[in-house]
Structure 1
Amino acid sequence: MTVSPELRTIGAPRQAPQAAPAPQASPDNSATATATAREASPDLLRSAFRRHAAGVAVITAHGERPVGFTATSLNSVSADPPLISFGVGTSSSSWPVLSEAEHIGVHVLGDHQRELAETFARSGADRFGAPTRWSVGPEGVPILDGVLAWLVCRVVARVPAGDHRIVIAEVVAADPTGVGRPLLYHQGRFNALRD
């Protein structure tokens, strides 16, 4: 899921839980455990995904100005050809540029980059101003300094998915030589791996 445009903490759904159906007897006549189900909603989806730990990336692109946002929806799609995907909200301030960009940058963040992740997730932040360090990379894409890995990708598809678009892009350049441990997003917070 996309973290941007702002970090938010999602509370418990406002609906009262529905009663669980009575356990059904299994073929061996033992009772089967059933979970309490709730009616699907955007809040329920967010609450469930708060329990899913995800890697943190920043997606960048350049139009009239550089844009970027923090994403936790980055996925490897295919090794041959090398394809990745991520989701972006169509209400994101980055979407107008991303909707037309031919190339995008993907940056895998380290656990030393919480502040950078928060900056790119915060609505209205000057994401490319100090203290963010970046340079112009291949295909004119903004490349962030100090990341664990970066990729420059050519956009091959933008697939409508509710209030988001799933962007599929082919890797054309990369540098996976950064040092450190990955930054994770879990329970509405940025976290480091624990030993």
Structure 2
Amino acid sequence: MTASPDLGTQASPAPTELPAAAYPEGAVSPAYTAGEEVPASGVFGSDVFGADAFRSVFRRHAAGVAVITAAGTRPAGFTATSLTSVSAEPPLVSFGISTAGSAWRTVADAAYLGVHILGEHQEDLAATFARSGADRFAPPTAWAPGPYGVPLLEDVSAWLVARVVSRIPAGDHRVVIAQAVAGAPDGPARPLLYHQGRFNALRH
């Protein structure tokens, strides 16, 4: 499946300087010596390290799948693969959201958000919330208003309601940091993953 603009990216922008420890011994790009400042426009040789190359790298990174929801004039939500636990005291999470995505305007104004960690049985739900133009809260999506009116999805592995602390500009995205105020890990435990541009179940 190809990620829509609503499907969160999984990393911060590439650094402009690579320390000596960034590569194993002998693996430093031949165009640069270890610790040398690297131009932001290119990393290996004269090639420009652009968005396509960046996405190709992160297709190799298996990430958990979450759905972020917000209440507004109409409920809004999107599939994110960038959810991160930032701090336990206080309990903070972060995620990235595209400013071109359909959910951004609602998330930008919301004081509280729903954070849902999906189980392996919810690939269709993840696809619905990643699909541009979809009516994401129409049947068969099962949901109900939760604390602070936040839309909460049913049958997820775990959920949080979180108060937005900050929205940080990051390229064509915003990094949202929010503090959990309620939640439960009561659902099915096996996670849904996103890898190589498609949803996958965890395999042993």
- Equivalent residue for 1:87, pick from 96, 106, 112: 96
Which residue of structure 2 aligns with residue 96 of structure 1?
105
Contiguous gaps of at least 5 residues in structure 2:
8-24, 31-43
1: CA distance between counterparts of 2:55 and 2:97? 15
- 1:41 lines up with 2:50 in the alignment: yes
2: CA distance between counterparts of 1:106 and 1:130? 20
Q: How does 1:92-171 map to 2 (within 5 A)?
A: 92-171=101-180
2: CA distance between counterparts of 1:156 and 1:32? 43
1: CA distance between counterparts of 2:145 and 2:97? 22
Q: How does 1:18-57 map to 2 (within 5 A)?
A: 32-34=26-28, 37=44, 38-57=47-66
Shift of 1:39: 2.7
User: Per the alignment, in what secondary structure is the counterpart of residue 51 of structure 1?
Assistant: coil
Shift of 1:40: 1.3
Shift of 1:34: 4.8
1: CA distance between counterparts of 2:177 and 2:196? 27
Which residue of structure 1 aligns with residue 82 of structure 2?
73
2: CA distance between counterparts of 1:90 and 1:110? 27
The alignment yields a C-alpha RMSD, in angstroms, of 1.6
The 1:176–1:139 alpha-carbon spacing in structure 2 relative to 1, beyond 3 Å, is same
Letter in 1 for 2:194: Y
1: CA distance between counterparts of 2:102 and 2:58? 23
Shift of 1:6: 6.0
2: CA distance between counterparts of 1:193 and 1:145? 21
Which residue of structure 2 aligns with residue 175 of structure 1?
184
Flag the structure with larger Rg: 1
The number of equivalent residue pairs is 170
Contact preservation (8 Å) 2:6, 2:101: no
Shift of 1:4: 4.2
The 1:6–1:76 alpha-carbon spacing in structure 2 relative to 1, beyond 3 Å, is closer
User: Per the alignment, in what secondary structure is the counterpart of residue 59 of structure 1?
Assistant: strand
* TM-score normalized by the length of structure 1: 0.83
Aligned-residue sequence identity (percent) comes to 64
Contact preservation (8 Å) 1:4, 1:71: no
Residue deviations 1:45-71 (CA, integer Å, cap 9, x gap): 100000000000000001101000000
* TM-score normalized by the length of structure 2: 0.80
2: CA distance between counterparts of 1:4 and 1:145? 23
